[in-house]
Homo-oligomer: A and B are copies of this chain.
Amino acid sequence: MKMKHKGILIVVSGFSGAGKGTLMKQLVHTYDNYALSVSMTTRAPRPGEEEGKEHFFVSKDVFEDNIQQDGLIEYAQYCDNYYGTPREYVERQLEKGKDVILEIEIQGALKVKEKFPTALLMFVMPPNATELKKRLEGRGTESKEVIAKRLRRASEEAEGIEKYDFIVINDKLEECVRQMHSLIQAAHFTPDRNGEMIDNMRKELEELN
């Protein structure tokens, strides 16, 4: 009747510029129990991007084979390129008891939740409106169109917040990483993630009766 710490699948979404990437890298670096999922894409690597680090870079044919063979947990198309989450790595890490982290926008997050009902959905936000505006405007070098596009995108993303399990405010990085870790730890103690333990306890109670 022990709490069995099977891995949880964690989906991280949030406003662009909320610092999701840095946050996740720091989380994996600080604590032992995490594995970062690397997505597969058909887009070309940018200078400095490494195969298997930022993404797995594959051809359109290979990607579509993966779709056909149910090798992806979710996938989407942006600007004529495919992006998806390879299933095998995720499932192997969960089996090992690792908590696996994916960074996906809301549509993908909801698809993951359908396939993995115990997935934990976290939404990262900047601490306040001024900061949000600053981050959306970038370093002041962005065109009005780019800023407008980011604002529209942020509004769309904000629509879905209620679908998430937890909100994470990214103010100070170290604090936010600790906070995120303790929310994930808490998620291990929900009944739906401890079905086996509850079943065992009921069986034992019946035997005593």
Please name 10 pairs of A and B residues whose Cβ atoms are closer than 8 Å in the assembled complex, sorted by A.
A1-B125, A155-B205, A155-B209, A158-B198, A161-B191, A166-B186, A166-B191, A167-B197, A183-B189, A185-B186
Complex CA–CA separation, A70 to B3 (angstroms): 40
User: Which residues in B have their C-beta under 8 angstroms from that of A154?
Assistant: 205
Q: Using a CB-CB cutoff of 8 Å, which residues 180-195 of chain A contact chain B?
A: 182-183, 185-187, 189-192, 194
Q: Judging by beta carbons under 8 Å apart, are A1 and B158 in contact?
A: no
By DSSP majority rule, is chain A's interface helix, strand, loop, or mixed? helix
Count residues of chain A with CB under 8 A from any CB of chain B.
Answer: 45
Query: Distance in Å from the Cβ of A198 to the closest Cβ of chain B?
Result: 5
User: Which residues in B have their C-beta under 8 angstroms from that of A169?
Assistant: 3
Tell me if A12 counts as interface (CB < 8 A to partner B). no
User: Which residues in B have their C-beta under 8 angstroms from that of A168?
Assistant: 189
How many copies of the shown chain assemble into the complex? 2
Query: Distance in Å from the Cβ of A109 to the closest Cβ of chain B?
Result: 13
Tell me if A90 counts as interface (CB < 8 A to partner B). no
Complex CA–CA separation, A155 to B206 (angstroms): 7
Tell me if A2 counts as interface (CB < 8 A to partner B). yes
Counting from the closest, the 7 A-B pairs by CB-CB distance are A186-B186, A129-B204, A1-B128, A166-B189, A162-B191, A183-B186, A151-B209
Complex CA–CA separation, A136 to B132 (angstroms): 55
Q: Judging by beta carbons under 8 Å apart, are A208 and B166 in contact?
A: no
Complex CA–CA separation, A152 to B168 (angstroms): 42
Q: Using a CB-CB cutoff of 8 Å, which residues 131-154 of chain A contact chain B?
A: 132-133, 136, 148, 151-152, 154
